[in-house]
Structure 1
Amino acid sequence: MNRVRKCGAFLAAVLTAAGSVLASAGQAHAEAAVQSCAGTWAVTYDPPITNTPQLVNGVLTGVFPLCADPQAATASYTQVFTDTVSCTTLLNAGATSRTYVWGNPLAAPTTFTYNFTTTVVAGQVVVTNTGLITAGRYAPGSAVQVATLVTPNALACAGSGIGSLTGPTTLTIYAP
């Protein structure tokens, strides 16, 4: 009986040690979030978008009044683009970069180089930006920004068009 207890205790110790090794190996490869922000974003279109695809000049602006890192507690960005869009294709998929400016002047602006995709989820357009932090605070690292836009009003799209849309957005930056 004593031998069985010793064997059981030894097996439990081996399994505990193996679990610790596997857990620490998994953590070594997992990215840790070093910054997360919540805010709003807006896109303006010139000319206003309609149901007919057309080349427009656009401006994306984002404001993050609440970020987790106290050294960079707020952020904003502005990004200009030209694209062929309509009320059914608010943004096309592609690749680009933007710079986040932190509210703290001591925090260097962060350049985010990313690929973006758009999907329609429950009647809302969801834009997902996934890429790398290539310069500034948090470089090198990676990031994901997700933004949601309200689907444009169908009557306005059939008429004079939609000049701007807005919605919530989140940003998460990960350490390498």
Structure 2
Amino acid sequence: MMSSRPLRRAAALLSVLAAAVATAAVAAPAHAAGLDQVCVGTEVTTFDPPLTLTARPTTVTVSGVYTTCTNPGAITATYAETFPLTASCLVLFDSGSALRTFTWGGTEAPSTFQYNVTSSAVAGQVVVTNTGVITAGGFAPAGAEQVITLVTPNVLQCLVGGVASVSGPTTLTVHGA
């Protein structure tokens, strides 16, 4: 005659496993359910005149391409923006607010992104974080965050001729209501 002990252990193990799965599902971040879009790509930032060690007025042009996005209605994206800024190799960006338009590859209408920008130097890189709201077009209204990681300019290049451009990876996350 077979003992019922292994069956009880198996049933107990299944109960514990089911409880763990249910707990994990409940413990997921609240915003995950409202995630509308995640994109990864590259940004190139140019400076005219090039940056030196001395802060001076320059025209900054950013150009970004998201080659991979998760939403089937917006599988890629591009953006471009030009603005004046007083900057140097030591201080690339400042805090402030701005508008940017993401043009989607797909069926979504272009999105207007109104954001606040902060930047910080982290381990030889400048991390720029744009946090705000998609106010019009595709995905509106929705919160969004764009993070751009740029390599800190080479000091020697800053001394000899200046830094005309920097580039690096960028991510965009759009959270629906």
TM-score bucket (shorter structure): 0.7 to 0.9
Query: What 5-or-longer segments of structure 1 have no aligned partner?
Result: 1-15
Which residue does 1:131 correspond to in 2?
Answer: 132
Q: CA deviation at 1:149?
A: 0.4
Letter in 1 for 2:126: V
Which residue does 1:151 correspond to in 2?
Answer: 152
Which residue does 2:10 correspond to in 1?
Answer: none
Is 2:164 the partner of 1:163? yes
Q: CA deviation at 1:148?
A: 0.4
Map 1:2-151 onto structure 2 (within 5 A): 27=30, 32-104=34-106, 106-151=107-152
Q: Secondary structure of 2:140's match?
A: coil
Q: Distance in 2 between matches of 1:118 and 1:159?
A: 25
Letter in 2 for 1:160: G
Q: Distance in 1 between matches of 2:55 and 2:160?
A: 14
Letter in 1 for 2:88: S
Q: Secondary structure of 1:44's match?
A: strand
Q: CA deviation at 1:32?
A: 2.0
Q: Secondary structure of 1:156's match?
A: helix
Letter in 2 for 1:107: E
Q: Secondary structure of 2:138's match?
A: coil
Q: CA deviation at 1:103?
A: 1.0
Q: Secondary structure of 1:90's match?
A: coil
Q: Secondary structure of 1:157's match?
A: helix
Q: CA deviation at 1:31?
A: 6.5
TM-score (norm 1): 0.82
Q: CA deviation at 1:158?
A: 1.2
Letter in 1 for 2:53: N
Q: Distance in 2 between matches of 1:31 and 1:155?
A: 48
Q: CA deviation at 1:33?
A: 1.3
* Residues 97 and 89 (structure 1), Cα distance of their counterparts in 2 relative to 1, 3 Å cut: same
TM-score (norm 2): 0.82
Letter in 1 for 2:60: G
Q: CA deviation at 1:98?
A: 0.2
Letter in 2 for 1:42: V
- Root mean square deviation, CA, Å: 1.9
Q: Distance in 1 between matches of 2:63 and 2:94?
A: 17
Question: % of aligned pairs identical?
Answer: 47
Q: Secondary structure of 1:103's match?
A: strand
